[in-house]
Structure 1
Amino acid sequence: MKERIEWLKGLTYIPQKEIAWLIEQAELAEKQRAIIEENKRQQEVTVHQFQQAQEEIQRLTKENEELILKVEAQEEEIRDLEFENSNLEDEIEELEDKVEALEGAAE
């Protein structure tokens, strides 16, 4: 192709057949340029989507870590409440025993 272009540059008269070839090459070059531009545009869109996905992953990771901490805190609170409940059940049992003892003594 390069040789043909150089040969054409040397001509003073360009035959119709060669003009048609030049037009065909120009059209092909324009199609290739359009394809390259579309590929660049799609690449930019893909990069932007990838960046958004990374940001979303970071946001979700942080949110997940916060939720894990909340769950752990709630689990600790539940353990504390269960322990407190166990102590209260023991106290209730002791009070019931005392009530029974007092009722027995009152009879």
Structure 2
Amino acid sequence: MQDRSTQIRAISSEQRLEILRLLKTPNVHFAAQWSADPAEFGVCMTLIAEALGVSQPTASRHVDLLRQAGFITVRRKGKWAYCRRQEGALGDYLSWISETLGAEGIPA
């Protein structure tokens, strides 16, 4: 199980949420990636930075926090870094939020 405070911090940024949204359907958003299949291998960090309209160091910081939270994995191929969503970790987090903050768990 991941540290919940890290996970909460990871999704507290609109740009990090956008990374997760883009990586949900990588073949749609990153179809032009030629170096590796975006769904199978992951999406190149350069393309994520371009999609967000930010520098690569800024994108790297966002990706690193998502990686620490367990929401994505980063895989290296040569000098390139490729990112993939971790559906199991995201599902676990959403279940935890639902259980923790669900209507029956909130005091009146």
TM-score (norm 2): 0.26
Higher relative contact order at CA 8 Å, sep ≥6: structure 1 or structure 2?
2
Query: Which is greater in Rg?
Result: 1
TM-score normalised over the length of structure 1? 0.26
Structure with the bigger percentage of helix? 1
